[in-house]
Structure 1
């Protein structure tokens, strides 16, 4: 898979800054204003996975590539990224400013789970273009973060968590109705959630896919393969095989368009024993070869 960027690499490559002390005991959190790090406004951010989550309020013109979807930001937007999806962004011009915070999931241990919000979920909207009024509200929350983060106060970590959840709560209200969180999860829904989390983890591990078949996933989830398939059919209206293949195809398209890796290398990373198997799989799905798709 694409190389995973660590927090240490982020500070060194994006901010030209020394790596701060990482709060290993309670997870990591940090918040920035673009004005304090001018370089981060204009440096393109490479297409790859990260091992942290990020929320940004960004002003200006940008192009954000999130998995195989491109989002255009023309004025201002909220941006939500997680460790399960590769992304890149590029500023289109020099008039950019804004804020962002980044954190690890462990920072919220026993304090809730940001990853459960729609903006961080498959099918959620990670880039939300917002109005001037909405931008003012979000900006005030980030300004509170910055002010509180400077304090020598052991309780400031709790305040950061509260402000992050307030941002997530407001963003949840901006999601299209069709993406709203589902009703309380039943047994099939729980299996589906576990399956989707396991599926996504295969693509952010940095190695060749270890799980390829419905039987592989069923074994890891300790359920019968027929039970898994029935649950996915009930919740997602697709078979286990279809969901796995769709996710592999999405990853293949991203790797072809946003990396310079050889076809054989991509095939290996996606779990194909031979390049010809990958070629046939890709062409069957899209009616074009991997090389034709990359050149298109």
Structure 2
């Protein structure tokens, strides 16, 4: 069976063959507490069609993987299909096998607990939520997070090959940045560990929707208006998002978005002196007529009439 460089590294490290280990690890790393390395998948995976199953159950290393392409993560209790750019966190105790399929790209870093020793990083690695997750820490990434993750790994790759005397301090900082990104992605899981995956998705959607408001000036714009935009931002398929929200709230994605838009429109019509055209533009409508039709459909009254009614009530 074909073995990757990472598999060989794990075997040699756990077997205690220091000569082989020295050949695999970057020059000068022995001067640091612990060990760290970063790999590019397209440089270490074979090019033939049949790809190996890679065991990540090393006794020595923590691992953070940035995976693109199609693959499968196998745990004792279930298998997880990976089809979108994804971050995967594993520990020396993780019984995890990864099977790439087709063209696979991405990067990963491996490090020992000593590399993030409190004296060096200020953290206790086993106390970090990402490594105490009640679920398998596999997180699909949004476009923004993909760009951020790629930048971090590119920085790691550049730094580990540099001659900078303090490069391992920077590499610790980059590793911690990845860890904190993962913990942000898992924050809802940790805050609501007994909630179902559907409830967590609903919570993330509602938080994302609500964060766009209130609108404080006509220059402020609502950026996410459609179900597909929310699905892309949450890194889920639109059909899955629609199904989950219907099950948990009784309303469709579009109905929830429309309801919050109407709520904000009413507040702006009642409490500001913005023109209706300014309100329409801030709420993401292409023109006054489109907004007017939407508002009347949702409330059975035109926005101008609603403003007149509520203004008169304020004076009585």
Return the TM-score normalized by structure 1.
0.52
Counterparts of 1:190-201 in structure 2, within 5 Å, are none
For 2:170 and 2:180, how far apart are their aligned partners in 1?
A: 15
Counterparts of 1:245-284 in structure 2, within 5 Å, are none
For 1:10 and 1:86, how far apart are their aligned partners in 2?
A: 19
SS at match of 1:68: coil
SS at match of 2:147: helix
The CA deviation string for residues 252-293 of structure 1, in whole angstroms up to 9 with x for no partner, is xxxxxxxxxxxxxxxxxxxxxxxxxxxxxxxxxxxxxxxxxx
1:66 matches 2:66 = no
Report the counterpart of residue 41 of structure 2 in structure 1.
34
Change (3 A) 1:158 1:173: same
Choose 60-69 or 136-145, whichever is displaced more: 60-69
Report the counterpart of residue 60 of structure 2 in structure 1.
51
Report the counterpart of residue 168 of structure 1 in structure 2.
179
Q: CA deviation at 1:148?
A: 0.9
Report the counterpart of residue 131 of structure 1 in structure 2.
142
Report the counterpart of residue 240 of structure 1 in structure 2.
none
For 2:163 and 2:40, how far apart are their aligned partners in 1?
A: 19
Change (3 A) 1:6 1:141: same
Contact kept? 2:36, 2:112, Cα under 8 Å: yes
Q: CA deviation at 1:57?
A: 0.5
**1:103 aligned to which of 108, 111, 114:** 111
Contact kept? 2:35, 2:115, Cα under 8 Å: yes
Q: CA deviation at 1:161?
A: 0.5
For 2:97 and 2:35, how far apart are their aligned partners in 1?
A: 22
Change (3 A) 1:173 1:10: farther
Contact kept? 1:47, 1:65, Cα under 8 Å: no
The CA deviation string for residues 124-157 of structure 1, in whole angstroms up to 9 with x for no partner, is 4411111232111100000011111111122000
Report the counterpart of residue 152 of structure 2 in structure 1.
141
The CA deviation string for residues 234-266 of structure 1, in whole angstroms up to 9 with x for no partner, is xxxxxxxxxxxxxxxxxxxxxxxxxxxxxxxxx
Contact kept? 1:80, 1:127, Cα under 8 Å: yes
Gaps of 5+ in 2: 1-6, 15-21, 194-316
Contact kept? 1:52, 1:102, Cα under 8 Å: yes
For 2:30 and 2:71, how far apart are their aligned partners in 1?
A: 31
Q: CA deviation at 1:105?
A: 0.3
Contact kept? 2:133, 2:190, Cα under 8 Å: no
Q: CA deviation at 1:76?
A: 1.2
Contact kept? 1:64, 1:71, Cα under 8 Å: yes
Q: CA deviation at 1:33?
A: 1.3
SS at match of 1:54: strand
The CA deviation string for residues 167-208 of structure 1, in whole angstroms up to 9 with x for no partner, is 1111111115132499xxxxxxxxxxxxxxxxxxxxxxxxxx
The CA deviation string for residues 60-103 of structure 1, in whole angstroms up to 9 with x for no partner, is 111101342322111210010001221101012x2210010000
For 1:18 and 1:40, how far apart are their aligned partners in 2?
A: 24
Contact kept? 1:118, 1:181, Cα under 8 Å: no
Return the TM-score normalized by structure 2.
0.49
RMSD after superposition: 3.0
Gaps of 5+ in 1: 183-296
**2:128 aligned to which of 117, 121, 126:** 117
1:9 matches 2:11 = yes
**Number of corresponding residues:** 173
For 2:74 and 2:31, how far apart are their aligned partners in 1?
A: 30
The CA deviation string for residues 34-60 of structure 1, in whole angstroms up to 9 with x for no partner, is 232233993211374432100010101
